[in-house]
Chains A and B, each alone.
Chain A
Amino acid sequence: MTAALRFDPIRLPPECEELRKEVRAFLADEIARGTFDPHQPHSEDNDNREFAKRVGAKGWLGITWPKKYGGHERSYLERYVVTEEMRVANAPTRRFFVADRQSGPVLLKYAPERIKMDILPRICAGEVCFSIGMSEPGSGSDLFAAKTKATKTDGGYLINGTKIWTTSAHIADYMIAVFRTSPPTKDNRRHGLTQFLVDMKTPGIKVNPINQMSGQKEFNEVVFEDAFMPDDHVLGEIDGAWKQATSELAYERSGPERFLETYYVLTELVRSIGPNPDARAAEGIGRLVAQLHTMRRMSVSVAGMLSAGKEPVVEAAIVKDIGTLWEQALPHRVRDLAAFVDADVTNLPTLNEQLAFATKIAPKLTIQGGTTEVLRGIIARGLGLR
């Protein structure tokens, strides 16, 4: 059992600290020229194409990928540093975040050479946006209940059905989606789904916006009506998507974005409390910082394992479980601690505005990218309980 609980104290190597300085200087410059406001947490949602291109030009997209695809053959730990600095600054990463974290690595592994040569360099340049087509109206956490059908036709497949809760689909150039190519078998209900690369300009695809309770407009419903996908857009094994999902999830689940989503309220709380906290505020802040530090150390440890070519699926699930619960509770804890802040403190309106936003997005944090319940199932499996 203890083998499943390895969180070695990995430290980021010196080249990461050099890179961190560069990223901070770049972001400070972008803030100075008015690209985004670091105190506005929703600026992260902005689809800022020019910013994305400048990040790409810096060489910070596709950091780990082979040079022949536009990548930079640097370490996964360097990618980690770029990600956390962007997240903490509330930088507008919407355009490239999913492509860089998740979609690119899938293409690298499963796409035909022609497609890799076409798309990966454009991801590295910050030019393309990806979305992920997993959930359907009748299939959320239970991915293998997906019904959207891919029917074989001449030279490809015809897609019919609906994906839902698809973040960024309205601005995305591509989607990586799972479609049903065969019915599940009796002994394997996970059989029969295939991963596809979807060009969002394909005729027969309609994107309908779904507004969220937070005021964000990132969700969509995506309807497919006889949308044609050529054969070479199949990613990996036909009917075998379930074998391809696990390693991808370790990348998706353990990153700094899994505990830093509402981090800004902690910074702003410290600002409003000032340099001489009373015991109550100091204790509250001390505990939150201790918890944050611990999660980051766990997350860096997982990044180190990924960097070493391991597949720490259970560790990643643990990081996301603890991390998302923490970032979900954070606005509420900060609200408690801010209750006695002097009403005249100048940054109080900013804190309150941030709190309102963080409190509104908090409920989704333990749902997106694998619910708490799904994660605990994965951890339980790692413990040998199922």
Chain B
Amino acid sequence: MTFASSARSYIFANVKSTPLTKHTISHAAYAGLRALIMHPRLSPPCLFTIMPPTKKQHSIRSFADETCLNNIKGASVAESENIVVEAAERIFADLADSQEIIRTANGSWKAPLWNALSEAGLTLAWVPEEHGGSGAGLADGFGVLNAAGRYALAVPLAETMLAGWLLAQGGISSPEGAMTVAPASPRDAITLNADGTLSGRARGVPFAKEAKHIAVVATGAKGVSIALIDVSACRIDAGLSLAGEESNTLTLTDARPLELKPAPVDFTQNSLLLMGCVVRSLQIAGALETMLDITVRYSNERVAFEKPISKFQAVQHNLARLASETAAALAAATSAADAISNARIFDDAVMLEAISAKIRCSEAAERATGIAHQVHGAIGFTSEHILHRLTLRALAWRDDFGNESHWAVELGKMVCARGADELWPLVASR
């Protein structure tokens, strides 16, 4: 069930036009209501006051009048498929504006942004309600992360969502606060020891230094397990991504997990990495969308040789290539997200989709960032300009969960092992 449908069924069942009724509601309905409240088509009517959340439940006070209620029950919102994404975008626009972030050098923007995301139920979007999350569908969550890419979002939303998803695969409830996942590279592995402790090293773990907990895929004598560990149980070394974000080496030495459960049949470390690839692909595609937007706008504003540079054919052709690369990234990433959202297992077809997305988005990132900077000229290279927030993240995201060279080798091996005459049937099956 999606946020929006949870919220709607809740409203139908409970909300009356009586003013100041107190209701106790689930996390999912709460998140959905937040989304509805922030929905642009419903503003300005303020329908609900949000009470401070308790551990398992949120309460609200409704003081909606008849018109507001009809509005909310009415078709215009009911038909809106993207209510969760729109709610997320609203938070990003208010609290993650790139220009604001550059102005606020001390990082004071982070806490309000994180709090808003977590209050709206977005950080645990992929965690089912019975495990303490808001139970959004995979597709809704992918949409949120594509939007996060458009804002070059620099808090561990994607990582916490991934961790929540991973823990849910093992039936483990998600704790509060920021999380990340390990391993984040196909070259690393975590071992489950016979005594139930974990050992191993994971490099390039995004935001490990900012996380409270880490969701881990570990392999032991009896197969694959999923574990939740507290960050205090492991050593976390300093490290930064290309974009200057925490990207740390995690060392586990006989670390005792808080929870440990066997992974579902067929679930491997690659399942996590491929899911991570699709998430990063969507983020890259989002960053490219904004890059295209601001680059086109700048080319229309910037005058050189007595006309806007957008009027020069050479510049137009570069911008057309930027649009094509953005389109390719978006198509590859949304196709892979759609494939995973509708797949039960990670078979060859899902592998093709997820790997292709990571490869094609990474290639697009290289080409698109080059063109965006070329069109912006020197101004785009300054630290005051927002372009670097997009370019450096689009480039850095290529490195997480296995870079495109690694996955190209894997895809090539798969294609060769299937044989020449099975290549087209595989491609055509998508």
Contact = CB atoms under 8 A, between A and B. Distances in A.
Interface in A353-369: none
A282 B409 contact: yes
B408 A266 contact: no
Contacts of A82: none
Contact of A277 (B311, B335, B413, B430): B413
B310 A283 contact: no
A284 to B, nearest CB: 7
B296 A298 contact: no
**Size class of the contact patch on chain A:** 35 or more
Contacts of A213: none
A290 B355 contact: yes
B78 interface: no
A294 B356 contact: yes
Interface residues of B, number: 55
Contacts of B323: 4-5, 318, 379, 382-383
Interface string B352-369: 110111011001000000
Nearest to A20: B428
A282 B413 contact: yes
Interface in A307-328: 315, 318, 321-322
For the residues of A in contact with B, the DSSP-based class is helix
Given A20-B428, A283-B412, A384-B296, A9 B334 contact: yes
Nearest to A282: B412
B77 to A, nearest CB: 22
Contacts of A297: 331-332, 335, 430
A267 B420 contact: yes
Contact of A273 (B324, B416, B424, B430): B416
A282 B420 contact: no
Interface stretch (B53-61, B120-128, B158-166, B312-320): B312-320
A281 B424 contact: no
Given A9-B335, A270-B420, A293 B430 contact: yes
Given A1-B292, A5-B289, A270 B356 contact: no
B300 to A, nearest CB: 7
Interface string A277-302: 10101111111011111111110010
A289 B356 contact: yes
B178 to A, nearest CB: 30
Contacts of A185: none
Given A373-B317, A376-B316, A8 B411 contact: no
Contacts of A277: 412-413, 416
A2 interface: yes
Interface string A170-182: 0000000000000
Nearest to A272: B420
B293 A1 contact: yes
A287 B359 contact: yes
A8 B331 CA distance: 7
Contacts of B415: 270, 285-286, 289
Contacts of B326: 5
A322 B324 contact: yes
B423 A266 contact: yes
Contact of A270 (B331, B360, B419): B419
A210 interface: no
B405 A283 contact: yes
Interface in B76-100: none
Given A275-B419, A297-B335, A385-B296, A84 B428 contact: yes
A238 interface: no
Nearest to B315: A385
Nearest to B410: A286
Contacts of A379: 320, 323-324
Given A2-B293, A275-B419, A289 B405 contact: no
